[in-house]
Amino acid sequence: MNKFLFLLIALSFWISIVNSQDISLIQRELERSSILKNHFFSFSLYDIEQNRFLLGLNEDKYYTPASNTKIFTLFAVLKHIGDSIPAIHYIEKGDSLLFWGTGDPTFLHPKLDAGIVYTFLSATDKKLFYVGEVPTEEPFYRKGWAMEDYDAYYQPEITAFPIYGNVVTFGSIGNRLTVFPQRFQFAAEKETSAELNRFRIRRKFDENIFFINNARVPDNYLAHKPFRYSDELFVQLLQDTLQKPVELIQYPKPTKVDTLFSVATKDLLREMMLVSDNFLAEQLMMTAAMNKYGEFNTIRLRKDMEATYYAYFTDKIDLYDGSGLSPYNKVTARSVVELLLMIAQSIPEVNELRYLFAAGGKEGTLKTTYRLDGGMPFVWAKTGTIKSVYCQSGYIRTRGGRTLAFSFLNNNFLGSAAPVRKEVARIMTFVRENY
């Protein structure tokens, strides 16, 4: 018995030495990197099976997470929205149907709409009344967003009842420009531009007037431009689609309303995470707030998430939006890893967990970042990229059979994010092969 105990202790000691050597190798790769030395970076690595941090470099320092913020949005949605997304709230009064928006981003979305709300509103023989937004503290942009990006595809307005993804879609048939929804074709105007070698569309800041230069429309052209939203415009677009009258009214919302659901929550979360869709992230925060409080109040939601969950982090965090467009957001790599552990506890089935993160070398924003190992991915993570920021956080499966949570935050580099992205992939592949 004593001999067996001695062998067990010796084996445990030998394993700890080997693991320590492995971690030293990873630390050396980080410290000797010619790419990482030119900017600020933070790294945290955690062994989920052993329930311990393995390595941290600048893990307690604050960084702008960019779209790694969406991991926090994922967690908030998991906690406050059920299996399906609430699409509309409604009541029936005599020959009338009154309905309210819930923030659901999928209505008539070209990729995500399940047709449930359209079918419901189209099939009813009752008179339709849309109850417009009441004054709220929810601006159409979040703090810190770049106003000059108002017509960029990645920054649609945040609204109570999105329609068509809150964007106008421009395409081409031959050399002819197409516009959808068609109501916006009357808002397109030609403009004289010195830049005639590249086709360009821009929107007037405060109006739905789109300026088109005189360059040739490219073949297979496709562009999405956010439109300036209003309740009146929403009703016009809805009437055009339903081919029936819809009236805009103000009406106090009863305590008890019926709810119509649209798509599966996990599928919408996957779309948000894999392609890093800012619009979906912000609208899902709106929906989660409506689901929890009966009103749109994302500031309150973030405060409650902090008090209920993030207060247990080693480091305090500071978030101002759900998408990561705001440079005001500040987190540490250690806090992101602690969040990943909470998510893993909430979704214990490994395939369900991995479904919500892009698989490296296979899909989403990580499709071309990693090479598959034996035809299989080994990293499931969320990226985050804005000017001078590249972040990647998620889970990695090592050849030694370990499942690790990691966060790799990079800020304040000059030029393209490509060299930093390649270096992150190189080091995480090194972790895969050496631990």
Backbone angles phi, psi at 408, to 5 degrees: -130, 100
Same-domain check for residues 240 and 291: no
Report residue 193 as tokens.
């531009």
CB atoms within 10 A of CB 43: 23
For residue 181, is the peptide bond before it cis, meaning its omega torsion is within 30 degrees of 0?
Answer: yes
Residue 19, in any domain of the structure: no
CA neighbor of 88 nearest in space, from 253, 237, 239, 278: 253
Residue 69, in any domain of the structure: yes
Same-domain check for residues 60 and 97: no
Residue 20, in any domain of the structure: no
Among 247, 267, 282, residue at a domain's last position: 282
pLDDT of residue 5: 46
Residue 5, in any domain of the structure: no
pLDDT of residue 283: 98
Same-domain check for residues 172 and 198: yes
C-alpha–C-alpha distance, residues 412 and 255, integer Å: 49
Same-domain check for residues 141 and 251: yes
Among 235, 266, 282, residue at a domain's last position: 282
The structure's pTM equals: 0.93
Residue 222 parent element (H or E): strand 222-226
C-alpha–C-alpha distance, residues 308 and 359, integer Å: 30
**Strands laid side by side in the 167-173 sheet:** 176-180, 167-173, 222-226
**Counting runs of H as helices and runs of E as strands, what totals does the chain give?**
10, 17
Q: List the CATH number of the domain containing 403.
A: 3.40.710.10
Residue 39, in any domain of the structure: yes
Residue 1, in any domain of the structure: no
C-alpha–C-alpha distance, residues 371 and 316, integer Å: 35
pLDDT of residue 186: 67
Mean per-residue pLDDT for 192-200?
A: 72
> Cβ(149)–Cβ(225) under 8 Å?
no
Domain count, the chain: 2
Has residue 17 got a pLDDT over 90? no
Same-domain check for residues 148 and 183: yes
Same-domain check for residues 293 and 255: no
Helix then strand then coil, % of the chain, to nearest 5: 35, 25, 40
* Sequence-distant (≥ 6) Cβ neighbours of residue 100 within 8 angstroms: 88, 89, 90, 130, 131, 160, 161, 253, 257
Residue 328, in any domain of the structure: yes
Same-domain check for residues 119 and 175: yes
pLDDT of residue 175: 81
Same-domain check for residues 217 and 97: yes
Cα three-residue angle 191-193-199, rounded to 5 degrees = 85
Same-domain check for residues 184 and 313: no
The pLDDT tens digits of the residues spanning 281-314 come to 999 999 999 999 999 999 999 999 999 999 999 9
Helix 418-434 with 2-32: angle, nearest 10 deg: 160
> Cβ(297)–Cβ(136) under 8 Å?
yes
Same-domain check for residues 86 and 221: yes
CA neighbor of 393 nearest in space, from 324, 304, 346: 324
Radius of gyration of the CA atoms of the chain, in A: 25
Among 214, 247, 282, residue at a domain's last position: 282
The pLDDT tens digits of the residues spanning 219-246 come to 899 999 999 999 999 999 999 999 999 9
Same-domain check for residues 96 and 137: yes
Mean per-residue pLDDT for 313-324?
A: 98
pLDDT of residue 12: 46
> Cβ(71)–Cβ(78) under 8 Å?
no
Same-domain check for residues 254 and 129: yes
Has residue 21 got a pLDDT over 80? no
Terminal alpha carbon distance of the chain = 32
Range(s) of the domain holding residue 125: 79-282
Residue 120, in any domain of the structure: yes
The pLDDT tens digits of the residues spanning 165-190 come to 999 999 999 888 999 999 997 666 67
Distance of CA 71 to the CA centre of its chain: 7
